[in-house]
């Protein structure tokens, strides 16, 4: 189980770094920038489930499409909640993180064939997403990265912190759901 956690942490870091560093390199096409983070996260989640956690779906292509779609929806919902909620910054990132993680968790229920401990899997994943948003906000407050001239640093830190903690939460949630099976 420790190796799985380590692999999930590494995948979360790499996924976050690719999202953070790759975004500014994209051409200025709106639909592409809207889905890019969700596609990258979805591909890494598929890889994590398939090769690391041995959560083999019966049908690979539908599982991949569900994971990527859920990740894109989670990303877009998190942005929508963040823009429309009017929440104080203290809660905003945690709520956005939980919303995004909740969408991802629902997609993973199908793709990773989670049959037992469903509610616990979703709640642990959402908690990890909220924790990722909260930790990012604390880093932002302590380092004042939002004042850096380039928004790229802010984006890189956001994706790296949130996705790493999401993967840690998913590894933990898988451990709980496996224990209940």
Contact 72, 35 (CB under 8 A): yes
Structure tokens at 140: 């932002």
CA 1 vs CA 6, 56, 62, 64: distances in Å: 9, 17, 27, 24
pLDDT tens, residue by residue, 75-86: 999 988 877 777
Q: Residue 141's domain spans which residues? A: 2-180
Q: How many residues does the chain have?
A: 181
Q: In order along the chain (181 residues), what is the average pLDDT of each group of 10 residues?
A: 88 94 79 88 93 77 94 93 77 93 96 90 97 94 77 87 97 79 50
CB half-sphere exposure, 45, CA atoms < 13 A: 35
Structure tokens at 130: 């909220």
Query: pTM for the complete prediction?
Result: 0.91
Structure tokens at 50: 């398939």
Distance from chain centroid for Cα 142: 23
Phi, psi angle pair for 53, to nearest 5°: -95, 0
pLDDT tens, residue by residue, 15-33: 999 998 887 777 778 788 8
Contact 52, 74 (CB under 8 A): no
DSSP H helical ranges for the chain: 2-22, 30-47, 60-84, 89-111, 118-143, 151-180
76-112 in b/e form (b: 16+ CB < 10 A) is bebeebbeeeeeeeeebbbbbbbbbbbbbbbbbbebb
Cα–Cα distance measured from residue 18 to residue 101, given in angstroms and rounded to the nearest whole number: 18
Q: What is the pLDDT of residue 68?
A: 96
Q: What is the pLDDT of residue 175?
A: 87
- How many domains is the chain built from? 1
Comparing CA positions, the residue from 174, 165, 176 lying closest to residue 50 is 174
Q: What is the pLDDT of residue 86?
A: 73
């Amino acid at each position: 189980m420790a190796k799985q956690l380590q692999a999930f942490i590494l995948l979360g870091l790499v996924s976050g770094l690719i999202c953070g560093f790759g975004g500014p390199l994209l051409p200025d096409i709106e639909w592409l920038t809207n889905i890019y983070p969700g596609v990258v996260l979805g591909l890494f989640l598929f890889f994590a489930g398939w090769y690391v956690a041995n959560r083999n779906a019966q049908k690979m292509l539908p599982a991949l499409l569900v994971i990527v779609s859920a990740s894109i929806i989670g990303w877009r919902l998190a942005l929508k909640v963040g823009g429309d909620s009017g929440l104080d910054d203290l809660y905003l990132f945690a709520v956005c993180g939980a919303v995004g993680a909740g969408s991802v968790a629902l997609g993973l229920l199908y793709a990773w064939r989670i049959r037992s401990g469903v509610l616990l899997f979703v709640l642990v994943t959402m908690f990890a997403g909220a924790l990722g948003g909260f930790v990012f906000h604390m880093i932002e407050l302590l380092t004042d990265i939002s004042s850096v001239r380039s928004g790229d640093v802010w984006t890189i830190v956001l994706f790296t912190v949130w996705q790493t903690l999401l993967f840690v939460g998913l590894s933990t949630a898988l451990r709980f759901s496996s224990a209940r099976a």
